[in-house]
């Protein structure tokens, strides 16, 4: 059916004559300013129970949204339901603002206003929305390492509004770190990395709870560190710690977001064998044994392009957000490799090993081992 469209000036005049002006945007959109005198009811809420919000079938109703599309759609549905005097504002609130017509700020408390302003671009995404953003607000992530990978990853997780970050690192900031570990600064050289990271992340988003744990991760404390977290992000740079984290995540059924970097190359994956036995692989399924030390130098031995951990760390943060929001296709069972010099990406499938000593179906957790000895004796 044909929908009557009004200019903002015409809508304002009809409002003065007694028409009900209704803003059908989401609450977070209305927080940025809405037409003066408009009643705010989201489109989906209005159409789910129009009789709750609209007084009579013949009452004059003018709908307004951001650009005019949603209000026109809603007007069409209401017309089909028997409402006889429904119109839509062409150009929506954007046109209303351009016309210089009065806008008002809804009465919301300072905490909600900060939430709507800070995460406005997330809230516009149907895959996130307010419900998803509130879910991020309640999420807890363990970031192991405040170095090359943990620095960019934690920056973006804090910016995204992940409510609690438990950052673990035993080291202090050195000047050589600043080339790539962007969460630190010259002023924090000599300061514990977790404290330096905490200060910088809180400056970015003071509403995130940053738990700084200055400790070396071992079999003695890994269980406590995994307690109550939803996802584990591996920012480590050595094989013993990677195997320990893998085994602990299987024991506690936590998804593990992995990355490794060297010189100009990186790789990223998600290991979720603890929750998907026999379906999703673990780190041991990909690397049953560590390579000889000569074939796996760390950054201090081999060097690394400063931006490379930024690429890998941001990919890790992306995978964490996907897992927390339950959206997209996480890198479970897939290893993404990239060559920054050629800027080429290659994906390999990784299958669950039916004979894996840790994650195979029905295999009881074997307990933690001496990971340093395990890695040093290989090759």
Percent of the chain whose predicted confidence (pLDDT) is above 70: 96
Identify whether residues 205 and 297 lie together within a single domain. Answer: yes
Least confident of 58-72, 123-137, 168-182, 295-309: 295-309
- What CA–CA distances, in Å, run from 364 to 232, 247, 360? 21, 12, 9
3-class DSSP string for 310-345? HHHHHHHHHHHHHHHHCCCCCCECEEEEEECCCCEE
Task: Using the 3D structure, point to which of 59, 91, 107 is the last residue of a domain.
Answer: 107
Q: Cα–Cα distance between 129 and 116 in angstroms, integer?
A: 11
Output the domain CATH number for residue 35.
3.40.250.10
The alpha carbon of 5 is separated from its chain's Cα centroid by a whole number of angstroms, namely 39
| Position 183 pLDDT exceeds 80 | yes
Q: Same domain for 100 and 185? A: no
Over the stretch 290-323, which tens digit does the pLDDT of each residue have?
A: 876 655 555 566 789 999 999 999 999 999 999 9
- Among 28-37, 116-125, 163-172, the range with the most confident prediction by mean pLDDT is 163-172
Residue 165 confidence (pLDDT) above 50: yes
118 part of a folded domain: no
Q: Are residues 248 and 332 in the same domain?
A: yes
Q: Are 240 and 158 in contact (CB under 8 A)?
A: no
Domain with 32, as residue range(s), is 4-107
Contacts of 237 (CB under 8 A, 6+ apart): 145, 147, 148, 298, 299
By the 8 A CB rule, do 337 and 308 touch? no
Q: For all residues of the chain together, what is the average pLDDT?
A: 94
Q: What is the pTM of this model?
A: 0.85
Domain CATH for 284: 3.40.50.720
Q: Are residues 75 and 202 in the same domain?
A: no
Task: Examine the domain organization and report whether 151 and 298 are in the same domain.
Answer: yes
| Same-domain pairing of 270 and 321 | yes
Number of domains comprising the chain: 2
Residues 321/311, Cβ–Cβ less than 8 Å: no
- Among 77-91, 126-140, 365-379, which is the least confidently predicted range? 365-379
pLDDT value at position 194? 98
Separation of alpha carbons 372 and 241, rounded Å: 8
> pLDDT tens digit string along 203-262?
999 999 999 999 999 999 999 999 999 999 999 989 999 999 999 999 999 999 999 999
So what's the pLDDT on residue 298?
59
Residue 350 DSSP class: -
Domain-embedded: residue 132:
no
Per-position b or e across 5-34, b if 16+ CB within 10 A of its CB: bbebeebbebbeeebbbbbbbbbbbbbbeb
Two tokens at 325? 């929001």
Domain end call among 58, 89, 107: 107
> Is the separation of the CB atoms in 304 and 179 below 8 Å?
no
């Amino acid at each position: 059916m044909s929908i009557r469209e009004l200019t903002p000036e015409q809508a304002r005049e009809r409002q003065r004559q007694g028409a009900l002006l209704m803003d059908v945007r989401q609450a977070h959109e209305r927080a940025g300013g809405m037409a003066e005198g408009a009643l705010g009811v989201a489109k989906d809420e209005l159409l789910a129970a129009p009789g709750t919000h609209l007084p009579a079938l013949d009452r004059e109703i003018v709908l307004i949204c951001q650009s005019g599309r949603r209000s026109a759609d809603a007007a069409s549905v209401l017309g089909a339901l028997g409402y006889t005097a429904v119109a839509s504002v062409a150009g929506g609130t954007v046109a209303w603002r351009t016309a210089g017509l009065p806008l008002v700020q809804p009465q919301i408390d300072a905490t909600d206003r900060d939430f709507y302003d800070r995460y406005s671009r997330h809230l516009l995404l149907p895959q996130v929305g307010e419900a998803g953003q509130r879910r991020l607000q309640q999420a807890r992530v363990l970031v192991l390492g405040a170095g090359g990978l943990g620095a960019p990853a934690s920056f973006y997780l804090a910016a995204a509004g992940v409510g609690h970050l438990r950052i673990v690192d035993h080291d202090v900031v050195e000047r050589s770190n600043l080339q790539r570990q962007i969460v630190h600064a010259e002023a924090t050289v000599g300061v514990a990395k977790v404290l330096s990271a905490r200060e910088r992340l809180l400056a970015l988003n003071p509403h995130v709870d940053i738990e700084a744990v200055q400790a070396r991760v071992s079999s003695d404390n890994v269980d406590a560190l995994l307690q109550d977290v939803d996802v584990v992000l591996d920012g480590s740079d050595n094989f013993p710690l990677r195997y320990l984290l893998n085994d602990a995540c299987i024991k506690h059924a936590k998804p593990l977001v992995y990355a490794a970097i060297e010189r100009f190359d990186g790789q990223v994956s998600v290991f979720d064998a603890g929750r998907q036995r026999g379906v999703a692989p673990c780190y041991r399924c990909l690397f049953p044994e560590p390579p000889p030390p000569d074939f796996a130098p760390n950054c201090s031995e081999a060097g690394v392009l400063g931006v490379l951990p930024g690429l890998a760390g941001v990919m890790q943060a992306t995978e964490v957000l996907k897992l927390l929001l339950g959206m997209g296709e996480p890198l479970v069972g897939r290893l993404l490799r990239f060559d920054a010099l050629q800027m080429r990406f290659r994906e390999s499938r990784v299958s669950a090993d039916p004979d894996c000593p840790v994650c195979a179906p029905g295999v009881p957790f074997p307990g933690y081992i001496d990971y340093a000895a395990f890695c040093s004796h290989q090759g």
